[in-house]
């Protein structure tokens, strides 16, 4: 195996270092807005005059909501890559699909856990099986855990990629169901209906939420680039191993031929004994 | 601030999971990069060009 050492032996490049730095700075600024500048959620009901809202728990939303939306985005990208795998048999798109699938599943898992943590003080329960949004999100998460598990099955990489692509294309059909579930089954959910698309939040809360989207999008992009490069290296390593094995086999065959030629008798091999 | 434990817990879980995944990906990339010849790591082309 060809060993290369030195400071450049990473998946990093100048562009990813700049992007990584932007992510760290962005996360710092997001922290300042989420915990310092953004106020607690407290509104006065027009009819009753009572103060309502999530209070300080709204600060969890700055992680939870971007993670949810970005999990949809990355899992959709996984499906696009999977479609390209089936259509073009593209290795490049297969790496994109795999990386996006992994990151989307991670973000979906974070969405579930942060949602549970938010739900405990708000609804008084960690989990509610009757809530369609929770259950459909869990199904989406498990479908893509299945996708990632399928990718680890040993076998012909092209065949594994095609099978996984089919699972991803089926799994992504869950996204509109998860997203619309609170409207389709509005009596079977503890979740509120969309506040973002109807702009029912405003000022610093809205700004911090948008900042969260921007920062976590950058973080996701940075992760995807590195994950893609890891997949690329795995492919290169596999191919270079295959090349080495082929060269070794050729050298063996060649040395066998040369030895046969060098033998007395001109390479026809040992004379057979006639009984 | 009310419910501090829940708020901090959610942020720690979110950023912690992203951090662990990122560190693992970087470490895997680092170990694989050492085994793959530099000319096969295409993203380093620009670095090589810049140095040339």
pLDDT mean values, one per 10 residues, chain A (275 residues): 52 90 96 90 74 84 95 96 92 94 97 94 89 92 96 88 94 91 74 61 86 96 95 85 74 81 62 48
The pLDDT tens digits for B1-46 are 668 999 999 999 999 999 999 999 999 999 988 888 777 777 665 4
CA atoms of A9 and A130, how far apart (whole Å): 50
Residue of chain B nearest A238, judged by CA positions:
B36
Contacts of residue A152, defined as CB under 8 A and 6 or more positions apart, other chains included, come to none
Provide, as residue numbers in chain B, all residues whose Cβ is less than 8 Å from the Cβ of A64.
10, 14
Whether chain A has a CB inside 8 Å of the CB on B19: the answer is: no
Residue of chain A nearest B9, judged by CA positions:
A117
- A57: nearest Cα among B14, B15, B6, B13: B6
Provide the pLDDT for residue A188.
Answer: 67
CA atoms of B21 and A109, how far apart (whole Å): 12
Provide the pLDDT for residue A274.
Answer: 46
Contact A96, A82 (CB under 8 A): no
Contact B43 A10 (CB under 8 A): no
How confident is residue B52, by pLDDT bands cut at 50, 70 and 90?
Answer: very low
Cα atoms found within 13 Å of the Cα of residue A267, Cβ hemisphere only: 8
Min CA distance, B52 vs chain A (Å)? 15
CB atoms within 10 A of CB A214: 13
What ipTM goes with this model? 0.83
pTM above threshold 0.95: no
């Amino acid at each position: 195996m060809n060993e290369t050492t030195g400071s450049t032996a990473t998946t990093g490049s100048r562009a990813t270092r700049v992007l990584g730095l932007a992510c760290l700075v962005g996360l710092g600024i997001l922290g300042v807005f989420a915990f310092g500048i953004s106020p607690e959620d407290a509104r006065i009901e027009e009819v009753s005059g009572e103060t309502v809202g999530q209070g300080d728990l709204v600060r969890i939303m700055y992680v939870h909501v971007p993670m949810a939306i970005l999990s949809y985005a990355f899992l959709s990208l996984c499906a696009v890559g999977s479609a390209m795998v089936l259509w073009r048999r593209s290795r490049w798109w297969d790496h994109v699909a795999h990386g996006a699938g992994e990151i989307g599943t991670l973000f979906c898992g974070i969405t579930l856990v942060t949602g549970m943590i938010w739900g405990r003080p708000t609804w008084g329960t960690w989990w509610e099986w009757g809530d369609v949004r929770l259950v459909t999100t869990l199904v989406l998460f498990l479908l893509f855990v299945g996708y990632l598990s399928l990718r680890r099955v040993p076998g012909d990489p092209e065949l594994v990629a095609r099978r996984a692509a089919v699972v991803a294309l089926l799994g992504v059909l869950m996204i509109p169901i998860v997203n619309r579930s609170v409207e389709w089954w509005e009596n079977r959910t503890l979740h509120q209906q969309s506040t973002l698309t109807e702009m029912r939040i405003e000022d610093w809360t809205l700004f911090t939420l948008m900042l969260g989207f921007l920062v976590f999008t950058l973080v996701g992009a940075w992760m995807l680039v590195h994950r893609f490069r890891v997949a690329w290296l795995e492919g290169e390593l596999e191919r270079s191993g295959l090349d080495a094995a082929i060269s070794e086999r050729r050298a063996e065959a060649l040395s066998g031929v040369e030895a046969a030629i060098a033998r007395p008798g001109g390479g026809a091999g040992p004379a057979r004994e006639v009984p | 601030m009310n419910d501090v434990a829940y708020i901090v817990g959610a942020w720690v879980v979110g950023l912690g999971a992203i951090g662990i995944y990122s560190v693992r990906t970087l470490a895997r990339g680092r170990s694989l990069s050492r085994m793959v010849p530099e000319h096969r790591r295409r993203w380093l082309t620009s670095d090589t060009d810049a140095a040339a």
